[in-house]
Amino acid sequence: MAVPIKCSNCGTRVTVLEGGLCNKCEKFFCHSCLFLEKDRKERVLVCTNCREADKKYTRLSRSIPSTVDARRRYVKRGIKRDKSNT
């Protein structure tokens, strides 16, 4: 007989066959809290918390341009940067 395990997110008790481990935080979750995502070429199970954290991180990294990108934009536009310390 399978012993029910508590889901780390919603708290429902499910058997091992009805849930799984998150590949990032390695906690046990039920299938309603897990998502199957493609990570490079393999498919991995990711929980809702790790998925939301990844979305926030990628959203932030897209919105903040790096200094190298900003310099390239200046060069493309033909804007000269003032390098004198006056």
Q: Say if CB 47 and CB 25 are below 8 A apart.
A: yes
What percentage of the chain carries pLDDT values higher than 90? 3
In this structure, CATH architecture of domain 5-77: 2-Layer Sandwich (3.30)
CA distances from 15 to 12, 18, 58, 84, 85 (A): 10, 5, 34, 68, 68
Whether 20 has a pLDDT exceeding 80, the answer reads yes
Instruction: Tell me which of 19 and 73 has the higher pLDDT.
Output: 19
Confidence of residue 67 (pLDDT cuts 50, 70, 90): low
Domain boundaries defined on the chain = 5-77
pLDDT in tens, 23-55: 888 889 888 888 887 767 778 888 888 888 877
Q: How far is CA 42 from the centre of its chain?
A: 16
Confidence of residue 13 (pLDDT cuts 50, 70, 90): very high
